[in-house]
Amino acid sequence: MTVVVCAQPRGSAIDRGKLVDLTHAYNEQAIYWPTSPPFKWNKDAWGKSEAGYWYTSATFTTSEHGGTHLDSPIHFAEGKWNTGEIPLERLIGPAVVIEVTAACVRDRNYLLKPADIEEWEKRHGRIGEGDIVLIRTGWSRHWPNRMAYMGSDKPGDTASLSFPGIGAEAARVLVSRKPAGVGIDTASLDYGRSKDFLTHRILNGANIYGLENVTNLERLPAAGATLIALPMKIQEGTGGPVRIVAVLP
């Protein structure tokens, strides 16, 4: 008699062999905005307790806007959603990956253009309502080298920041497609030289959240993956640390 053992896990809707982590680790090297305090993680207890059992516990403190994190719409738009208000179904959706790696190698201050979006749509169809659009500049290869990633490694120095981002015109095109969120593998939706954060204001103004310091985008196809981006549920948060996972098609 032959017993057939089914290897498929019971009740799992997700193929666990197809998960990709798009998140940088939070540690001493994690890159934060030059004006933000760095990520802090202190061990409160670490080792054998007096009673003889193993016990560890630590305390962390963090800006809402450092490392791989979410920007809530309220970050740059009065009256729009805070972190606790973003509906769960907006944080899970089809991933659109628009690659501009070569342009960013030529110009570290490259701005995503409407033509980059239109080029993607020619191949894969129009970006749909509720999609999560990810801009792949290739910048995460510089992580955690602050000088290469940000253009400056001086604490407090925002004047000499230099890295690629999303141009205002491209942001307006994205808004017209009604995505749930827009992410990028740099420190900001706006490029490093921005002084007015216009792209943040355009996207957040349309109640679209941001994902910043995303990584491993080269492991995703241009279309077909599903994104799951779950921030820490800070009730009135302007953003927060987020674990981003893609499920490959």
Catalytic positions, please? 75
Rounded to a whole number of angstroms, the minimum distance from the CB of residue 80 to Zn ion is 14
Burial class (CB in 10 A: 0-12, 13-18, 19+), 156: exposed
214/136 Cα distance (integer angstroms): 9
**Segment lying near Zn ion (by CB under 5 A), choices 61-69, 94-102, 120-128, 129-137:** 61-69
**Residue whose CB is nearest to Zn ion in the complex, by number:** 65
Among 32, 71, 80, 164, binds Zn ion (CB under 5 A): 71
If one asks whether residue 65 binds Zn ion (CB under 5 A), the answer comes out as yes
DSSP state of 189: S
3-class SS letters over 15-84: CHHHEEECECCCCCCCCECCCCCCCEEEEEEEEECCCCCEEEEEEEECCCCECCEEECHHHCCCCCCCHH
Q: Name the residue with tokens 């921005």.
A: 194
**Segment lying near Zn ion (by CB under 5 A), choices 65-73, 98-106, 174-182, 193-201:** 65-73
> Binding string, 208-237, against Zn ion, x = CB under 5 A?
----x-------------------------
Rounded to a whole number of angstroms, the minimum distance from the CB of residue 50 to Zn ion is 43
Binding interface with Zn ion (CB under 5 A): 65, 71, 212
